[in-house]
Amino acid sequence: MKKKLFAGITAAALAMSIVVTPTGGFLPMFGSISYATSENSSALLSGPKNVRYSLTGDTIKLKWDKVTGADGYRVYVYDPETGICNGYKTVATEICTFSGAENGNTYKFVVASLVKQDGKYIRQNSSRSISVPVVLNNYWTADSEAAASLRSYVSAVTDESSKQYIPVKDRIAVFDLDGTLMCETYPRCFEYMVFADYVLNNDNYTPTDEIRAVAQEIIDTAWEEKPSGISTRQAAAGALAYSGLTVEELQDYVENFRSSKAEGFSNLTRGEAWYKPMLEVVDYLEENEFTIYIVTATERNIVRAIISDVLDIPPSHVIGTEYGYKATGQGETADGDYTFTSSDKVVFDGTYYGENAKMCKVDAIVREIGQQPVLAFGNSSGDQAMLEYTITGNKYISGAYMVVADDEKREYGSEEKGAATKKTCAEHGWTVISMRDDFATIYGDNVKRTH
């Protein structure tokens, strides 16, 4: 989607304008501020260095390093419709606030050094321009390095004049689900909790002792360290528990379970327990014509039901742990020997094909997507292979992001474990998304941790 890059400047702000020349210099349009020609520009004060920004809502805050000898600075905003940099504000210190930025627009700023002579400002040299896309500004902290990294990346790869441009067909981004996009601590991930509910609270199902034991283990250890091997035990038991159900019947159960209370949080259901900052990332990427895939260890039909009214992602773009299927009239006949009939339904057959984690995620991406992603988002050791695959030998500029559960006040994270994860990210060149430092909110300010 192409967005307008400039959202009007007030008449007072248009007291001076300059034109950007092909070589990046500036020519005056009107106004009372003097300027120096290119012949004597070397004798002027240098332009401000290290111009940077923070973004909060509709407010852009610019900062830069002090220029020795400067009496002030002039901030300009570029209007791509006219090719003019309009004078926005003169400031005495190395900071300027721009309010009223429109969401989805990109603003370009230039800062010039000023000296005062005979009561008038004389413009000196200018900074390099800085682009500020007004995105990822609703739920992210103003100084989030992760959000700034994503803004910069998307700006570069969607600019057809950039050497880093990526054609639309190759803009593939892959996301893990639990702990990356949605809560996995209420008190366990959605898949565990819906399985336990189906086995222990469903009057229409009688579990075996073995299946019941796995479900009870999930409940009994809910607020403890995750038991070793529980992922495999739960997935295998789930395949058996759902045997005989159609996909639609399982998804109906999932849909009903989404309205259950998210244990450990106030004012939150399991269906609402999505990380708002990460949903904003998905929306941002889709607006910039990225194709999104969910690559998760959760059974894929459960995921399809979970995301149905939250993410605009087609079912075919959900890759997860696989259970087997058969036709209701098939009996023990092998798939290769049976022909589906008009009286058949497809049901789960109790087979579990292994957890879609670690190298299995890479394998699934190669088989089902057929091309290397350029962005990957995960949160655990089960995602590391996918992140590393994305940035290894990629013909395009690529990025890997790790959501780190280090927030002990709003979520059930661990600063100690988070520090270890951040160290791993630094070793591999993955960008950290810290729940504590990067998320201005997680589920909304009315949601509180209660356990």
pLDDT digits (tens, 9 = 90+) for 104-160: 889 999 999 999 999 899 999 999 999 899 999 889 998 899 999 999 899 899 989
For the stretch 330-341, pLDDT in tens is 999 999 999 999
The per-residue pLDDT for 41 is: 55
Cis bond upstream, residue 187 (ω within 30): yes
| CA–CA dist 208, 221 (Å, integer) | 20
DSSP 3-state percent helix, strand, coil across the chain (nearest 5): 30, 25, 45
- Give the E-state strand segments of 23-136 in sequence order: 26-30, 34-35, 52-56, 59-63, 72-79, 84-91, 95-98, 106-117, 120-126, 130-133
Would the pLDDT of 203 be above 50? yes
Residue 17, H or E segment: strand 17-20
Measured CA angle at 381 (ends 140, 289), to 5 deg: 45
Q: Which part of the chain has CATH 2.60.40.10?
A: 11-134
- 413 CB contacts (<8 Å, ≥6 apart)? 404, 405, 406, 407, 435, 436
CA contacts within 13 A on the Cβ side of 339: 2
Residue 280, H or E segment: helix 276-287
Q: What's the CA dihedral at 361, 311, 237, 243 to 10 degrees?
A: -110
The per-residue pLDDT for 40 is: 52
Fold adopted by 168-438: Rossmann fold (3.40.50)
Residue 62's beta-bridge partner residues?
A: 53, 96
Q: Quick one: what percent of the chain has pLDDT higher than 90?
A: 84
| CA–CA dist 308, 285 (Å, integer) | 18
| CA–CA dist 433, 417 (Å, integer) | 14
- Give the E-state strand segments of 311-382 in sequence order: 318-321, 323-327, 346-352, 375-378
Both tokens assigned to 280:
């904003």
Of the options 3.40.50.720, 3.40.50.1100, 2.60.40.1260, 2.60.40.10, the CATH number for the domain spanning 11-134: 2.60.40.10
pTM assigned to the model: 0.83
Which one, of 322, 279, 270, lies nearest residue 297 by Cα? 322
- As a whole number of Å, the end-to-end CA separation of the chain is 43
Which one, of 227, 228, 218, lies nearest residue 191 by Cα? 218
For the stretch 65-109, pLDDT in tens is 999 999 999 999 998 888 889 999 999 999 999 999 998 889 999
For the stretch 19-44, pLDDT in tens is 333 333 343 332 333 344 334 555 89
| CA–CA dist 199, 179 (Å, integer) | 24
For the stretch 208-230, pLDDT in tens is 999 999 999 999 999 999 999 99
Residue with tokens 């789960």: 348
Q: Which part of the chain has CATH 3.40.50.1000?
A: 168-438
Mean pLDDT, the chain, rounded, equals 91
The answer to whether the CB of 191 falls within 8 A of the CB of 302 is: yes
The band of 12, judged by pLDDT with boundaries at 50, 70 and 90, is very low
